[in-house]
Amino acid sequence: MFGSREHSERGEHRITLTLASSLASVDQVEQTAEHLAAEAGIDEDARFGITMAVREAAANAVFHGNKGNSAKHITASFENTGTSLIFCIADEGEGLDPDTLPDPLAPENLMRGSGRGIFLIRSFMDEVHFRRLEPGTEMTLIKRFTPEANTGTNTGNQETKR
């Protein structure tokens, strides 16, 4: 694992980890997100959604993006801006087009054993962005919070594609 922690002048901080394509890395990304959210004072209900979304993004990067290839890595960065938590998860895979993903709520897909990860990410985060890399995909997840009164309520989903 290669990691770094960068502090800004405003006291906010950003952590960047480069990790192997493994289940242990997925767990580590989840735990780091949990720690950052707890440090930000976010309540348990909201943390549950945040850590699940970030875990799903990491699992997607490892097992769908990099297809578990141990020669490839994922990069995960975690940032608290004071009003938002921003998570960027990047893989080195062939690229993901989120517009082509089947709707897991459609009756014909409801009984599928997979395909709910991106849907859950979108459900729990305020913004989700996808960016094509050469090679790979970067997913940016943003959760806004009010430092004085954190709640688990999503203020609305917004998705844009960069």
If the CB atoms of residues 16 and 109 are measured against another protein, the closer one turns out to be: 109
Contacts of 90 (CB under 8 A, 6+ apart): 61, 74, 75, 76, 133, 136, 137, 138, 139
Give the one residue of 123, 129, 142, 144 binding another protein; rule: CB under 8 A: 123
Instruction: Tell me the CA distances in angstroms from 140 to 54, 69, 105, 111, one per residue in order.
Output: 10, 22, 23, 28
- For CA atoms 30, 32, 34, 40, the dihedral sign is negative
Query: Which two three-digit tokens encode residue 16?
Result: 């960047």
- Minimum distance from CB of 26 to another protein (Å)? 7
Residue 153 makes contact with another protein by CB under 8 A: no
Judged by CB under 8 A, the chain residues 53 through 72 that form the site for another protein are: 55-56, 59, 63
The Cα 153–Cα 149 span in angstroms is 11
Give the one residue of 3, 6, 12, 23 binding another protein; rule: CB under 8 A: 23
Residue 149 makes contact with another protein by CB under 8 A: no
Give the one residue of 111, 149, 156, 162 binding another protein; rule: CB under 8 A: 111
Give the one residue of 105, 149, 156, 162 binding another protein; rule: CB under 8 A: 105
Cross-strand partners of 90: 75, 138
Site for another protein, rule CB under 8 A: 23, 26, 45, 48, 52, 55-56, 59, 63, 104-105, 110-117, 119-120, 123
